[in-house]
Chain A
Amino acid sequence: MSLCKTRLQEERKQWRKDHPFGFFAKPCKAPDGSLDLTQWTAGIPGKAGTLWEDAVYPITISFPEEYPSKPPKVKFPANFYHPNVYPSGTICLSILNEEQDWRPAITLKQIVLGIQELLDTPNPDSPAQEPAWKAFSKDRTMYDKKVKEQAKRYVNAG
């Protein structure tokens, strides 16, 4: 079995054993009905007491064959409103960047927690989309309004 598959099986096992409160993550099924461990869908709950609370934001996680040497690609839905999310939904986060802070030891749990943290603490030095970045830097009232509206659309249904 490839290193990628072995590691992903371990990640799945660890996740089922212990994952942070309010999050979910599960591998998708391949067309033949078997589990495709390289494609996951997951949900990131907004932290309580922030603009992002009361909602669970969906992400997809695609693991390349070179994983864990290379990081997975993590995406919100297209046009997700956040300064560090590209219009395609791809998340710009240093721990997900091979040339920055990605390390093979980073776990799925650390990734989703990192994304949760990013939601309310965007990195203004890594803008990925103009509308949210501009509003975050220059018009905080509008930014807050937009984030809250988005949270309503992803309201946590339990």
Chain B
Amino acid sequence: MADEWNIDQVVENIELLYLTNDSDRVRQIQSYLLPLQKSATGFELGQLLLQHVSKSCKYFGALTHTIYINTHLIVQVSNAIIDDIIALSNNIATRQDFDSNLFIIRKLVSNLCLLYLNHIDVYGVDPITTLLGRSRGVVDISNFNIQETFPTFSEIEIALFFICNSILIEDVCKRDPANLQKIHASIHASVFPNVNASLSYFNCKALPNSKALTLLILDCINSWVIYISVAENGSDQRYTENDDCQQLVTALLSQLGIRSQNAQELESEMEVLNKTFTVLTEIMETYPRIVAKHKQSLASNLFAKDGFGSLFMEKIISSHELSEEYSSEIENFVNLLIAYLNSAIIYISRNLYEPEVYQILDVILGLTNFRGNPISEERVSEQLLSFWEEFVNVYIDDSDNLETMLREKKVFDQFVETRNSLLLSVSAIYWQKIRYFANSPPEFVQYRLQVSELFILLYSLLNTSIYSTLCKNVQDKLIECQNSFSRNLLLDLEASLYLIYKVTDDLTFYDDDSTKELTPFINQFFSHQLVETIERYSTSDTDEINITLLNLLSAIPFFFKSDLGLKYLSPTFNFLFSIILNPGKRRLSLIGSKTVLKICQDSKEKLVEFLPTLELILLEMIKNVEIDFVIRERMVNSFISITQSLKDPVRMGENIFKILNQINLQADIINEKIEEYAVSLLSCINEIGKASQLPEDVEDYYTAAQSAQTDEYWTQDPLGIKTSILNVTALLSLKYEPLAQHTIATEKSCKILKNGLNEPINGPFRFELPVIFNYLIAKINKCNLPSIAFIFNLIETIVISNGAKLTAQNMDELIEKFFVEKKQLFESEVDLITTAISMFSTILERFPSLLVGLPVFQSEILDFALRGLKSHESFLIRATAKFWTNLIVLKRGKANDQEIVQNIMIHKLSLGSEKSLGYTLVDNAIVSFIDNPRSHLEYFYQLFRNLIGKYPLHFKNWLRSILIEVFKFRSRFTIQYVDQLVSKLMLTRGHRQANDVLKEFWLECNNLVDYKTV
């Protein structure tokens, strides 16, 4: 029984609870204690525990009160409970070890606040007044006035006062914001004036000497700032300036007064200062209105030469030793500066000439240039990045206003000059900061990214001036490198190239046209042997500069296309190939191959002269088993893309022939150890196919003569390339046993055959359909089960792209070979059923005449698709529902097809049944609909809606009869219910409202509710 307990046993369990690490034991103890806490004698237990000498027991006693208060409706006994809690609070509070018991006191106070907040109507006086009044022995609390008594409070009473304030308002903030009006009103009327008066008292008399007490007061101010924001949002209470919120700010600002010039004394105040920084920042960010009157004073404190900020920077920040020790405090100080700056950003940005603004910016520039490497040694420059970004944004967003304000052109130009000079100083600092340094941490990459974002913003203000400065710097560094190389020079070079890359990449991402003006600047450093210099000096530990160069190269295809840039392609390609062919640098090689692919795809017309070099490299890569397959495939694509741009079928044929020939040779040496390589050879053929595809508007791409010449060439195919493609594909995916059973090999070979299906004129990959079918027939007889999906998928694509070329007889033969002869396989595997049904569904959608008249359709396929409806597997149910919907709609069906289907639906008896196929379809569909999960309902809606639309009378009868049968054992669903449902459904005439009726029906059948309406 929960009401019966032995205090010794309870105490023993509590002590164990706080000692053990065994989670099972903890659960066991909790399941013993919780019922006791919730029981009718829980409060009595709490009191006993509070009297125990152990602090764990005392705290558990306070916790037990919380549980008791939350479990029992105790309005009637609440006064007694308050007395008890106060008595206990006093008992602990009068002990000398107040601070060490603070956690218990807090819990008890929280209980008091809980009672007050739960039963606010019962209480006339707030819990803080009650607690402090009772603790002084006041009987009639309504006569107790905190504001009058406050000057006589002891340190413990002051502490209790501020703790209670914090707890009360923090607890209110945690509550559901609805129904807090009364609480907010009561706090505004009776609690806030007391805290305000107490702070006013301290503001006149200075805060107490006790550091602990000062911290409590600052905590309390912080809680009030957060509370005020919540209360103003959630009620009609307003803490206007008249309410003298100013006392909160004054108390805080007084902490920033200079009491000593001594660093040691500043250090001794650090905890209080740190708290002041965070609370002031919180105010600036959440409730800046409170600070409005004090902004000037705050600015002086933070930025003036004789203010607190200067002292803090001089004594703490400038000291190497102290800045390391107080890095967190410095971070909070800088946050406060940023919060202030953000609140005054418009003023600062418009008044650059004002001495006070100049002083502020001077301080911030100094902090931006905080000594040390970013992230690993300092974080201030990172913190200030957000401010500088915001600062630049203001100029971008405010440019029209500025022009209006500074009407005279001369004045405006002067202003812009000053602004630009300031921003260039900022950029110079960050430019230095992003240089790689020894053991730079991974987060440094993120820092560089943030800096690059600032530069992107700066570009939109400073335009090419900043870009040209960066480019000029690269040029200078290259000259220096050529005269006397050092690793530092390389790092400088990298930093500038990184920023150029990021700005250029951003510009090309947004707008191709604007990049033209960059070409001369880029030329500036390319003409000073950028690529050659980096290639010469980079070593195994300078991957960063190689990566940056690779990225830059991939961002400037517009440059290589230009007359200025064209001549640099040769050294660029040499560099890229040296990177790609370096087997020890996998990541670099991958990035390099991506760069090559990008340049080749973007500037293929300009790269024709590189074909011989590329060919040599490519043929080597095909031979080299060690080359990463992604790189090999990208190089094939690059090579063929360039060849394609010649628009010369003879050259195209010759180049494809060379690659195929090499692949063919390699195919002879493959073995099980290099299976991945063998698959990669198939992928290479696929890449040839991808890169050979003509653009959509072939008329715009080829002249009529070119088009005819190409078509003629590939019709003749003098080098026998098509045969060669088929032979190599068959060799690797069919004849070579290990790959014959390899799913990815089948996938790749199907992709190869798919490449030419949509080509408008003849090309290397446009095969005759029977040729593809022959391959597929051979393949389906020699492959693993997962491969079949790719085979069917290819047939589906053939139907979509070339269905008009097929006859019903073709289809009949295909179905015989691919489906009927393999039927056992299909019935064994749910994925294969989906695959087959999807294919039939596509035929019904695109070319129904190919299917609906076939005997096999009626004898096999329909029954197969009916069984598909019995599944709960998402893809299958979706494919099957779509199959039946396509059959019913028969969008592209001729009159004859429509007639056949109608006949099938109404008159054909389904296999092994005396019912029509339509009846069986509705029967299976409705049973499946009821049984399927909510997420599958969508798949059925179209099916039912089309049945209603196309077969209204039959559907009505079928559905009624089926539902009566389905519900014969469920008394809730009477015949009247069925009739009503059928009528409702028929009234929708198959329109969208049918979805709602069906969903409602599904919910009722499954005893569920619509979560949208609850």
| Complex interface residues of chain A between 1 and 49 (CB less than 8 A to chain B) | 16-17, 21-22, 24, 28-29, 33, 41
Of A131, A134, A153, A158, which is within 8 A of B547 by CB? Answer: A158
A40-62, CB < 8 A from B: 41, 54
A97 to B657, CA, bound (A): 51
A43 to chain B, nearest CB (A): 10
Q: A54-B587, A127-B874, A155-B590 are in contact. Are A99 and B1012 (CB under 8 A)?
A: yes
**Chain B, Cβ-Cβ closest to A55:** B590
Q: How far is the CA of A155 from the CA of B551 in the complex (A)?
A: 12
Pick the contact of A22 from B446, B544, B935 — CB < 8 Å? B446
Asked if A155 and B587 make an inter-chain contact with CB atoms under 8 angstroms apart, the answer reads yes
**Known contacts A126-B935, A157-B591; 4 further A-B pairs (Cβ under 8 A):** A21-B446, A130-B834, A145-B744, A155-B590
Instruction: Give complex CA distance A21, B449 in Å.
Output: 10
**B831 surroundings in chain A (CB, below 8 A):** 130, 134, 138
Residue pair A16, B590 in contact (C-beta under 8 Å): no
Partner of B386 from the list A16, A33, A126, A155 (CB cut-off 8 Å) is A16
Partner of B453 from the list A16, A142, A146 (CB cut-off 8 Å) is A16
Q: Mark A138-154, 1 if CB is under 8 A from B, else 0.
A: 11001001100100110
CB neighbours (8 Å) of B834 from chain A are 130
Whole-angstrom distance from the CB of B296 to the nearest CB of chain A? 26
Please, which residues of chain A bring their CB within 8 A of the CB of B594? 155, 157
Most buried by B among A16, A142, A145: A16
A152 to B627, CA, bound (A): 13
Residues of A within 8 A of B510 (CB): 28-29
22 pairs of residues in contact across A and B, judged by CB atoms under 8 Å: A16-B389, A16-B453, A21-B442, A21-B443, A22-B446, A99-B1011, A127-B874, A127-B875, A130-B831, A133-B875, A134-B786, A138-B786, A139-B786, A142-B743, A142-B786, A149-B629, A149-B630, A152-B590, A155-B594, A157-B550, A157-B594, A158-B544
CA distance A130 to B554 in the complex (A): 34
A99 closest partner in B (C-beta): B1012
Shortest beta-carbon distance, B594 to chain A, in Å?
7
The CA of A2 and the CA of B645, in the complex, are separated in Å by 48
Contacts of A22 in B (CB 8 A): 445-446
Chain B 798-835 per-residue mask, 1 if CB under 8 angstroms from chain A, else 0 = 00000000000000000000000000000000010010
* B residues 58-79 touching A (CB-CB < 8 Å): none
Q: Which residues of B from 625 to 653 have beta carbons under 8 Å from A?
A: 628-630
Chain B residues near A17 (CB-CB < 8 A): 386
Q: With a CB–CB cut-off of 8 A, which chain A residues contact B1011? A: 99
A145 nearest CB neighbor, chain B only: B744
B764-786 residues at the A interface, CB under 8 angstroms: 786
Report Cα–Cα, A152/B632, bound state, in Å: 12
Among residues 538 to 562 in chain B, which have CB atoms less than 8 Å away from a CB atom of chain A? Answer: 544, 547-548, 550-551, 554
Residue of B nearest to A126 (CB): B935
Nearest residue (CB) in A for B510 is A29
Nearest to B548 among chain A residues (CB) is A158
B396's nearest neighbour on chain A, judged by CB, is A35
Q: How far is the CB of B812 from chain A (nearest CB, A)?
A: 27
Measured CB to CB, the closest approach of chain A to B838, in angstroms, equals 9
Please report the C-alpha to C-alpha distance between residue A46 and residue B779 in the assembled complex, in whole angstroms: 37
Task: Assess A152 versus B591: contact at CB under 8 Å? Given A16-B386, A142-B743, A145-B744.
Answer: no
Residues of B within 8 A of A21 (CB): 442-443, 446
| A133 CA to B834 CA, complexed, in Å | 14
How many angstroms between the C-alpha atoms of A101 and B594 in the bound complex? Answer: 38
- Shortest Cβ distance from B386 into A: residue: A17
Residues of chain A within 8 A (CB-CB) of B386 are: 16-17
CB neighbours of B548 from chain A (8 A):
158
Return chain B residues, CB-CB under 8 Å to A142. Answer: 743-744, 786
Complex Cα gap A21–B382 (Å): 14
Query: In the complex the two chains form, what is the Cα distance from A158 to B434 in whole Å?
Result: 14
Do the beta carbons of B875 and A139 come within 8 Å of each other? no
Bound together, the chains give a CA A157 to CA B386 distance in angstroms of: 25
Q: Is the CB of A24 within 8 A of B449?
A: yes
Is the C-beta of B511 less than 8 angstroms from some C-beta in chain A?
yes
A130 touches B453 (CB 8 A): no
* Closest residue of B by beta carbon distance from A28: B510
Known A-B contacts A21-B443, A33-B511, A152-B590; A157 and B875 likewise in contact (beta carbons under 8 Å): no
Which B residues are CB-close (under 8 A) to A138? 786, 831
Q: How long is the Cα–Cα vector from A135 to B927 in the complex, in angstroms?
A: 30
Pairwise interchain contact B446-A153, C-beta atoms closer than 8 A: no
A-B pairs with the 8 shortest C-beta distances? A29-B510, A155-B590, A152-B630, A157-B591, A17-B386, A158-B547, A21-B446, A157-B551
* Residue in chain B with minimal CB distance to A98: B1012
**A29 adjacent to B630 (CB under 8 Å):** no
Within 8 A of A (CB), among B855-893: 874-875
Closest beta carbon of chain B to A15's beta carbon, Å:
10
List chain B residues, Cβ under 8 A from A157: 547, 550-551, 554, 591, 594
What is the chain B residue whose CB lies nearest that of A41? B509
Residues of A close to B743: CB separation below 8 A: 139, 142
User: Complex formed: what's the CA distance from A126 to B934 in Å?
Assistant: 12
**Residues of B close to A133: CB separation below 8 A:** 875
Find chain A residues with CB under 8 A from B630 CB.
149, 152-153
What's the minimum C-beta distance from A153 to chain B, rounded to whole angstroms?
A: 6
With A22-B446, A134-B831 already in contact, the answer to whether A152 and B550 are too (CB < 8 A) is no
Q: CA A126 – CA B594 in complex, angstroms?
A: 33
Residue of A nearest to B629 (CB): A149
Within the assembled complex, what's the spacing in Å between the Cα atoms of A139 and B742? Answer: 12
Contacts of B874 in A (CB 8 A): 127
Q: Give bound CA distance, A54 to B786, whole Å.
A: 29
- Chain A min CB distance to B538 (Å): 15
Q: Which residue of A lies closest to B449 (CB)?
A: A24
Distance from A40 Cβ to chain B, minimum over Cβ atoms (Å): 12
Q: How far is the CA of A157 from the CA of B588 in the complex (A)?
A: 8
Q: Contacting A158 at CB < 8 Å: which of B509, B551, B628, B1012?
A: B551
Q: Which residues of A contact B389 (CB under 8 A)?
A: 16
How far, in angstroms, from A22 to B389 measured CA to CA in the complex?
Answer: 20
Report A-chain residues with C-beta under 8 Å of the C-beta of B550.
157
B32 CB, min distance to chain A CBs, angstroms: 36
Given A33-B511, A153-B630, A155-B587, is A130 in contact with B786 using a C-beta cutoff of 8 Å?
Answer: no
Q: Which chain B positions have C-beta within 8 A of A134? A: 786, 789, 831
Closest chain A residue to B443, Cβ basis: A21
Contact with A along B365-403 (1 / 0, CB 8 A): 000000000000000000000100100000000000000
Query: What distance in Å separates the Cβ of B737 from its nearest Cβ neighbour in chain A?
Result: 19
Q: How far is the CA of A149 from the CA of B629 in the complex (A)?
A: 9
Contact B511 A155 (CB under 8 A): no
B437-455 interface with A by 8 A CB criterion = 442-443, 445-446, 449, 453
- B residues 728-744 near A (Cβ < 8 Å) are 743-744
Contacts of A139 in B (CB 8 A): 743, 786
How near does chain B come to A145, taking the closest CB pair, in angstroms?
Answer: 7
Of A54, A134, A149, A152, chain B has the most CB atoms within 10 Å of the CB of A152
Q: How far is the CB of B626 from chain A (nearest CB, A)?
A: 15
* Residues in B whose Cβ lies below 8 Å from that of A29: 510-511
Which residues of chain B are within 8 angstroms of A153 by Cβ–Cβ distance?
A: 630
**Cβ of B517 to closest chain A Cβ, rounded Å:** 15
Minimal beta-carbon separation of B442 from chain A (angstroms): 7
Give bound CA distance, A145 to B676, whole Å.
Answer: 10
| Distance A130 CA – B174 CA, assembled complex (angstroms) | 46
Q: Is the CB of A158 within 8 A of B445?
A: yes
> How near does chain B come to A38, taking the closest CB pair, in angstroms?
15
Output the least CB separation between B167 and chain A (Å): 26
B628 cross-chain contacts in A, Cβ below 8 A: 152
Residues of A with C-beta under 8 A to B511: 29, 33
A134: nearest chain-B partner, CB-CB: B831
- How far apart are B545's CB and chain A's nearest CB, in angstroms? 11
A101-158: which residues lie under 8 A (CB-CB) from chain B? 126-127, 130-131, 133-134, 138-139, 142, 145-146, 149, 152-153, 155-158
Within A57-92, the residues touching B (CB, 8 Å) are none
- For B544, the chain A residues whose CB sits under 8 A away are 158
